[in-house]
Structure 1
Amino acid sequence: MKKKSVGLIGLLLISVILSACSNYKFKAETEYTIDDFTATDHRGEEVTLESLKGKPWLAMFIFTNCTTICQPMTFNMTQIQEELEERGVEDYNLVGFSVDPATDTPEVLSEYLGHYSVPDESKWHLVTGYDQAWIEQFALNSFKSLVKMPTEGDQVIHGSSFYLVDENGIAVKNYTGYSETEEGVPFDTIAIDMETLIEERLGK
């Protein structure tokens, strides 16, 4: 009798957990309206806020000459895409804004991305084609994030967050994009949030 009770409790717990997962609702934590922009990605294609609308996208700020966090951040973004691929999620984009546009031409960005094992390169847009003053103001206005070219040296100051932007161009949540420990970057949470946003948009 005791074994049956334990088994029943176990089944109930599993059903509660599965129910909680299936009933997960995305909850926005921020409401930052992204300013209109026109940029050029690493394939030489034009990318605008309007062209990204209709699908959620994950944004980050990086530059190719970065000697600290940018390479780990880019790798972490590939890991998130792997999670999305495993879940069968397709309607999304990954956008990396260069914070050193004078150096980061489309060709340089393309070569940079080529060093990574990217599950689906077609969803990536590493963008440039604007000036330094613009990206610094854009990051502050749209993402409440600091970007600053120092007076000495070439290591641009910028944040390490990933930003989830919904299909309407509103940044609704941000996450740790870099951590000294792998556990610090919430790969699963980001993938689940993106999947949930898409499903809610499609009315699933």
Structure 2
Amino acid sequence: MKKKNIILAFVLVIATVLSACSNYQFKPTTSFEISDFTMTDHRNEEVTLDSLKGEPWLAMFIFTSCTTICSPMTQNMKLVQDEIEKKGLEQYKIVAFSVDPDYDTPERLTEYLSRHNPLNESKWHMLTGYDQKFIEQLAINSFKTPVRASVTDNQVIHADTFFLVDEKGVAVKNYSGTGQGTDGVQYETIASDMEALINERLK
């Protein structure tokens, strides 16, 4: 009898955990409509806002000659993707806007991404093909985040934030502090938010 009670308690715990996971509710915290754009990715393919619509996507701002947060940010995004892939999700994209487009050619972006060796490279779009003023305006107007070229060196000032964009092209949540290392990065939360958006779209 005691053994049966233990088994029953174990089953109830598992059911509770599974129920909590299935009932995860995504709560948007922003509502920033992304402006139209036409860019070139690291495969030399055209990417537009319209081509990204239909699936949710994660966005970040980086550049390949960055000496501070960009490489940790990209590594953290790779780890976020690992969590997304663990969930078996397929209908998503990852977008990285270069904030140094004059230097960041598709070839340089390809080499940069290859150093991080993402689990599923096909989901990534490393974007360039615009001028510095355009990306600074896109960042502040669409994502409410500053991008500013330094006047003293070749570095570009930008935030270490990830942005979650829904299938309609609206930035619905951001995650700050993603570029300072692995401590505190909300890998599972970001993946769960992505899963919730995908599930909502499929209803």
SS at match of 1:115: helix
Unaligned runs of 5+ in 1: none
Aligned residue type for 2:57 = W
SS at match of 1:171: strand
The aligned residue for residue 201 of structure 2 is: 201
The aligned residue for residue 119 of structure 2 is: 119
How do residues 5-44 of structure 1 correspond to structure 2 at under 5 angstroms? 12-44=12-44
Shift of 1:152: 1.2
Identical-residue share of aligned pairs (%): 59
After alignment, is 74-83 or 123-132 more displaced? 74-83
* Compared CA separation, residues 18 and 183, structure 1 to 2 (3 A): farther
Shift of 1:111: 1.2
Equivalent pairs counted in the alignment come to: 202
Per-residue Cα deviation, 1:91-133 (whole angstroms, up to 9, x for no partner): 0110000000110011111111111211111111000011001
The aligned residue for residue 63 of structure 2 is: 63
TM-score, L = length of structure 1: 0.92
TM-score, L = length of structure 2: 0.92
SS at match of 1:24: coil
CA distance in 1, matches of 2:77, 2:65: 18
Shift of 1:150: 1.3
The aligned residue for residue 98 of structure 2 is: 98
Per-residue Cα deviation, 1:37-68 (whole angstroms, up to 9, x for no partner): 01000010000000000000000000000000
Aligned residue type for 2:149 = M
CA distance in 1, matches of 2:91, 2:6: 43
Contact 1:178–1:184 under 8 Å retained in 2: no
What stretches of structure 1 move > 4 A for 4+ residues in a row?
1-14
Shift of 1:2: 9.2
CA distance in 2, matches of 1:121, 1:3: 48
Q: Is 1:185 equivalent to 2:163 in the alignment?
A: no
